[in-house]
Amino acid sequence: MEFPHAKRMDGFKTLIFSELSAYKHLKISEGAQMIDLSIGSPDLAPPDFIRETISDMSRAVDQYGYTLTGINEFDQAVAAYYSRQHSVTLDPQTEVMLSMGSQDALVHIPMVFCNPDDYVLVPDPGYTAYETGISMAEAKPYYMPLKKENHFLPDLEAIPAHIANQTSLMILNFPGNPVPVQATSAFYEKAVQFAKKHQILIVHDFAYGELYYDGKKPMSFLSTPGALEVGVETNSLSKSFNMAGCRVGYVAGNPSVIQSICQMKSNLDYGVFKPIQLAAARALTEGDWYAEEARAIYQHRRDMFLATTRSFGWEIPAPEGGMFVWAPVPQNMTSMEFCQTLMDEAHVVVTPGHAFGPTGEGYVRIALVQDTDLLIEAAERVGELALFPSHSLL
């Protein structure tokens, strides 16, 4: 018996990652040794003290009730983290809330603040979950192209006034996924003024705030004057502390926005397992040293991978943050053609840029989620295909 889907299911398209995974497994069944650099799932484990906290606390018989919201220790830890790392003062009781990772918040926030046919300003290319949340809210995305000539920052002045006046929400993401650049203080200041002028809520996705390179620490959007009046920031411990499977993160910022999201969330779930919240609180208060170690690992991976690609003429801009490389494809190929060639001939899996939005065509996203030797091997396999003009045998 067939059951018709609700129209809202049109917003839940089969993601490119599923298609890539299926083809990867087909190649593996044929005997290929595939190197998968397509999905940003951390390959590193959390530090010992996080795993030990979860293990020890999970043995206690009183840890298995509903938490409903963020426990006091977690909320206090988020506030202390912002004070220490970004000189931002937050009230842990009204300006911090727990989420099940940042995607939980990013998908649900449009449902709280957008009416059908409202516009949501989204980065293009941008994280695929943004459009899912927009679709669920029956709103409409308005793409803000991230172009090289604008240093991959949105051009807010190019947004038509009639679009801005019908917009309820703007999503920003720096350091970005898939474009691994940082925003400037001048851009954030301009965004705050734009939001005030048009009565727009800003949601800044700061999931890669701890992963940065060359000592150039990204600024929190909330550290911008006026940001707390117009916006919130989401973050997750998935990438910064490799707690991806724990599903723990937070939203911080404007208290009335936080209250509204909490109202919705109280109807959807019953919180996050308390031992995970306690471990996350320890990570935020005691984990600065580990974040520094993780940055060093990713920087070494980035540097060695790029050195290898440059040796055969694939010139890729160095990421400023995050765990991804945003790489231009050969001029005579589309993003998908390039990905298909890499899977078939180099046995390397990367993600075509068009999957993240129309402006992503001409690029691929490469995740630095394998050890350095495998990343170098992947680059060398690509080099052997002689797809780039300055090719020289490795």
Q: How confident is the model over 134-151, as pLDDT tens digits?
A: 999 999 999 999 999 999
Q: Are 297 and 227 part of one and the same domain?
A: no
Residue 348's CATH number: 3.90.1150.10
Closest C-alpha to 125, from 286, 384, 357: 357
What's CA 310's distance to the chain center, in Å?
26
Q: Are 20 and 151 part of one and the same domain?
A: no
Listed residues 262, 286, 310: the one ending a domain: 286
Mean pLDDT value across the chain: 95
* Residue 207 belongs to a domain: yes
pLDDT at 87: 98
What would the pLDDT profile of 225-241 be if each residue is shown by its tens digit?
A: 999 999 999 999 999 99
Q: Are 307 and 219 part of one and the same domain?
A: no
Q: Is the pLDDT of residue 197 over 50?
A: yes
Q: Are 103 and 160 part of one and the same domain?
A: yes
pLDDT at 5: 86
Structural domain including 327 reads 7-45+289-383
* Residue 355 belongs to a domain: yes
Q: Are 299 and 166 part of one and the same domain?
A: no
Please state which of the ranges 84-93, 283-292, 384-393 shows the lowest mean pLDDT: 384-393
Closest C-alpha to 202, from 139, 107, 122: 122
* Residue 54 belongs to a domain: no
Q: How large is the average pLDDT for residues 43-64?
A: 96
Listed residues 249, 269, 286: the one ending a domain: 286
Q: Are 251 and 344 part of one and the same domain?
A: no
Q: Is the pLDDT of residue 15 over 80?
A: no
Q: How large is the average pLDDT for residues 75-80?
A: 98
Q: Are 126 and 163 part of one and the same domain?
A: yes
pLDDT at 390: 64
CA atoms within 13 A on the CB side of 147: 9
pLDDT at 242: 95
Q: Are 104 and 27 part of one and the same domain?
A: no
Q: Are 30 and 121 part of one and the same domain?
A: no
pLDDT-based confidence at 8, cuts 50/70/90? confident
pLDDT at 393: 43
pLDDT-based confidence at 166, cuts 50/70/90? very high
The DSSP letter of residue 308 is H
Asked if residues 369 and 383 have their Cβ atoms less than 8 Å apart, the reply is: no
* Residue 129 belongs to a domain: yes
pLDDT-based confidence at 290, cuts 50/70/90? very high
Q: Are 139 and 237 part of one and the same domain?
A: yes
Q: Are 13 and 112 part of one and the same domain?
A: no
* Residue 389 belongs to a domain: no
Q: Is the pLDDT of residue 332 over 80?
A: yes
- CA 262, 265, 267, 270 dihedral sign is negative
Domains of the chain: total: 2
Percentage with pLDDT > 70 across the chain? 98
Q: How large is the average pLDDT for residues 159-183?
A: 97
The CA-based angle 234-235-237, given to 5 degrees, is: 160
